[in-house]
Structure 1
């Protein structure tokens, strides 16, 4: 069989930018960029089933509610539906929200586009024209000079219809121009076109022109894109009158990195979609970019505290599921199944809680294993953090019991309970829910059930026979039959154990005892945990919960008796 040719021979390496004194590698992000959501335009056009009018309305209001101030809503010249929705956005946008629309560089389309924005408080007209050799030669058949003249002519038309038209003076007009396929265009030609467009528009420092420098198709590593951005930013004239906007696509899976490096290189604004919806592999993910800033101590100026509600509307309107492993938004990204991960997270939460208590405030810096940001900052509860399956360890299941039942299990009991958890998970073949783990704990240690167990504590009395010796009389119900046992010891627990051995013939040698309160007031219940060593050397654990600490201890011993009875 003939050997197939290596497909790589069809492709050329992307040429680097000559930028010997690049500055972006030594810079750090210090503030959030201006954001543009293009979910309703670029995102919507990429959906197999575009949003309905009602879905677009719901999505628009969600974007406004969480804080986006610039929203690209439609391609109003493309259809009556897009035109009508632009009118809806114009009529319903708060005064501090800028409505942006897109158009090709064609006169009739531009006129229709500007018409859709009539009466807006603040509006951006966005024109695009492909500038790369590939698109100019293959798609449009235009020379470099011809393309530049089209861009200038259409920019002048937008100016004539907007900021130069006295009847449009009530609107704060902005202009954005995209040299489409920027990342595949000679950087000097991009500058030539943009300088000509800027001269035609005549921006000001107060109202700069927006130059969108898109990775229309992601074709290089993020560092090359950053070089392209820095080259543009340091060579365009009147930089103070220019807003550099980035619109990275994700063809190589590097859109987030490209956006962040592009900001270091001089970009002022990022365009993208919630969770990265868009053509092919998508636009850059605005949620990931925003929450990455959180983890660096920078506010994204967008409210992600109720991330689940954002996920809900994106999935409902896009009809595309947010993947379980999507950064931040995925249902699995803040949870751990691995035992070692769970143990580290549990210890991290304990340490963080101790630091908060010691400091007396909530300004302790977040430093937890495996969790770059606090899940509660995106509306996730502890239930989403640790999830239990057959790969989980003792720390995870103990964390679930602590958070759901308030029981802080001692380490040896954690080990004991984890065996029951693993057996149950292996039998089920799926992860165990928090509710299932709590029921399993109650069944394993015979606590909290309304159904009578084999051994029940009815009543008891403790007396001091002589100095250092306690006597106890215990009324039990054993498989429904009443029985009284009696014993003595140097304390209530040892006296109870002595009564069990003397009258029931069961030897219980208490080796582990732990207790804690289940609350902070005087009426709180106490939880006790007793580990007893049997004659064969095995350790059996019991758990007791009661308002009275002594009775809670006796219930732990009853728990041990039930454990022995049912596992004979």
Structure 2
């Protein structure tokens, strides 16, 4: 049995929180983004990336638009060290990109870090020590003052070495396990570090308040951020950063509320990779801004390529339901959803401003290089006539009458149900062709039709039935009506031509025409047929013939 009584909150809420951030709807601009894929993300992989793989991943991050990239913990392993030296010595860091390195507040690690980062054109040295109550009491067995002294000694050494080594250095400090630290103590440590580092508006310092472990609802973290943001020393020279993990599954919410509460920077990983349940997902955060009309300053327009590269280099899998990037996130199998999407697409085309308001799709799939026919309207036994008809129309140009579309929908669903499988667009087209299009058996085939214009229009129809060829004659008030009368008399059958529509399948002068016919038979049944031919009159005749043949193929009698 599960026993909830052994758990109690490990966080420290802000007393008398002001909640000013609650009045904001969303961030008005993108934060400073820092990818930690090559450090947090890489250390969380079962098989960490090789030097060559890390270089390729770095180049992908640059293409996406990250201007700050944490490239590793150079004192942790030789591969981390070599990667950093390769970036610097081979001049692989773009002028507008700042690399970042991580170090604990321990002297030998700080010294090795500066040895690794020397000569960097622009680098953030990110130093940290844990400040949480649990770590103080259980791991370090030190008092608050002793923990604070670790941070101060680290800050002093970082500042000293930055003046001794060649390079352009900026600084970041994190009270690790911030979410398990008393807010006033975390603030005290950060302010003491700021006083040592003496940042300026021209050379600001980053104070990072990480969600090392999620312990609370997101609003509690937002209050902690707002509390510290209001009270940090030299605030105009501070860039307030956040680094959320996802232990409670609310890393994105933590970050979004933190941005409302005063955070200006986000450390994140693509697709939420990272230790345990992962770091906050850069893709979801950026695209959440995008769909609110805020430019995220990151480019995920070629999402399939980014997913492929990520999966190949990390050996991780992007889940099919991963927001914005998963293989099925735009897929609509439900008939009612498909119908709403199809109608929304038509409304979008008629909107002169091109605004995106399509039901069930918060983002235009084209914006991330996905397609409507392959990714949005997906057909299985749960699908409806709207989606199935939409695929047939948008992919192949066939615009069926409403009642025929309904009949076709049931036909396709039956095929999918029996196969226990999704049907691809080409399979849907095949069902349409086999069910309706240009069917010349089992009873009737019209070879040709001529028309004689006199006091009334007369049709001369050459037809095959029962293995023999005949010529039938009949008058009518139009060409198709005359052919229809000739066929009914020739076969000795009776039905009503209820529906007839036609369309061009292209814009050129030699485009084929498509026609659709619906027949009502004396027994109350209805059959449908479609015809396609360069001649629009003959396409209508073929549709009529197809509908007649469908009646007899289904066992109908006159």
Please, what TM-score do these two structures have when normalized by structure 1? 0.93
What residue is the counterpart of 2:452 in the other structure? 463
1:295 to 291, 303, 316: 291
What residue is the counterpart of 1:209 in the other structure? 205
CA distance in 2, matches of 1:36, 1:99: 9
Deviation per residue, 1:257-307 (Å, 9 max, x gap): 110000000000111111101111111011000100111000111111111
Deviation per residue, 1:90-115 (Å, 9 max, x gap): 33121111111111111111121122
What residue is the counterpart of 2:113 in the other structure? 113
Deviation per residue, 1:200-223 (Å, 9 max, x gap): 111111221111101100000000
| RMSD of aligned Cα (Å) | 1.8
Gap change, CA 1:550 and 1:120, over 3 Å in 2:
same
CA distance in 1, matches of 2:209, 2:120: 26
Greater alpha carbon shift after TM alignment, 221-230 vs 303-312? 303-312
Deviation per residue, 1:230-268 (Å, 9 max, x gap): 000001121111111111111111110110000000000
Q: Is 2:214 the partner of 1:218?
A: yes
1:397-476 matches, within 5 Å, as 397-447=388-438, 455-466=444-455, 469-476=456-463
Gap change, CA 1:481 and 1:244, over 3 Å in 2:
farther
3-state SS of paired residue (1:246): strand
3-state SS of paired residue (1:420): helix
Matched positions, count = 550
1:513 to 495, 500, 504: 500
Greater alpha carbon shift after TM alignment, 478-487 vs 94-103? 478-487
CA distance in 2, matches of 1:97, 1:452: 69
Cα drift, residue 403 of structure 1: 1.8
**C-alpha contact 1:497 1:508 (8 A) present in aligned 2:** no
CA distance in 2, matches of 1:231, 1:261: 13
What residue is the counterpart of 1:76 in the other structure? 74
2:186 to 179, 183, 190: 190
What residue is the counterpart of 1:135 in the other structure? 135
What residue is the counterpart of 2:522 in the other structure? 535
Greater alpha carbon shift after TM alignment, 336-345 vs 308-317? 308-317
Cα drift, residue 20 of structure 1: 4.0
**C-alpha contact 2:271 2:318 (8 A) present in aligned 1:** yes
CA distance in 1, matches of 2:42, 2:466: 67
Cα drift, residue 141 of structure 1: 2.1
3-state SS of paired residue (2:275): coil
5+ long unaligned stretches in structure 2: none
CA distance in 2, matches of 1:288, 1:335: 18
Gap change, CA 1:70 and 1:454, over 3 Å in 2:
farther
Gap change, CA 1:294 and 1:503, over 3 Å in 2:
same
Q: Is 2:253 the partner of 1:257?
A: yes
Gap change, CA 1:303 and 1:455, over 3 Å in 2:
farther
**C-alpha contact 1:527 1:544 (8 A) present in aligned 2:** yes
Greater alpha carbon shift after TM alignment, 469-478 vs 301-310? 469-478
1:30 to 24, 28, 31: 28
CA distance in 2, matches of 1:104, 1:480: 91
Deviation per residue, 1:416-455 (Å, 9 max, x gap): 10111111011001111111111111111134x9x99875
Gap change, CA 1:134 and 1:443, over 3 Å in 2:
same
5+ long unaligned stretches in structure 1: none
3-state SS of paired residue (2:129): strand
What residue is the counterpart of 1:499 in the other structure? 486
1:56 to 54, 57, 60: 54
CA distance in 2, matches of 1:118, 1:437: 62
Cα drift, residue 12 of structure 1: 1.6
3-state SS of paired residue (1:545): strand
**C-alpha contact 1:19 1:227 (8 A) present in aligned 2:** no
3-state SS of paired residue (1:197): helix
Deviation per residue, 1:25-45 (Å, 9 max, x gap): 001311110101111110111
CA distance in 1, matches of 2:330, 2:16: 40
Q: Is 2:364 the partner of 1:374?
A: yes
Deviation per residue, 1:513-550 (Å, 9 max, x gap): 22222233433332221111112121211112233221
Q: Is 2:279 the partner of 1:283?
A: yes
1:16 to 6, 13, 17: 13
What residue is the counterpart of 2:548 in the other structure? 561
CA distance in 1, matches of 2:59, 2:182: 40
What residue is the counterpart of 2:148 in the other structure? 148
Greater alpha carbon shift after TM alignment, 455-464 vs 55-64? 455-464
**C-alpha contact 1:315 1:322 (8 A) present in aligned 2:** yes
3-state SS of paired residue (1:71): strand
Q: Is 2:383 the partner of 1:392?
A: yes
3-state SS of paired residue (1:92): coil
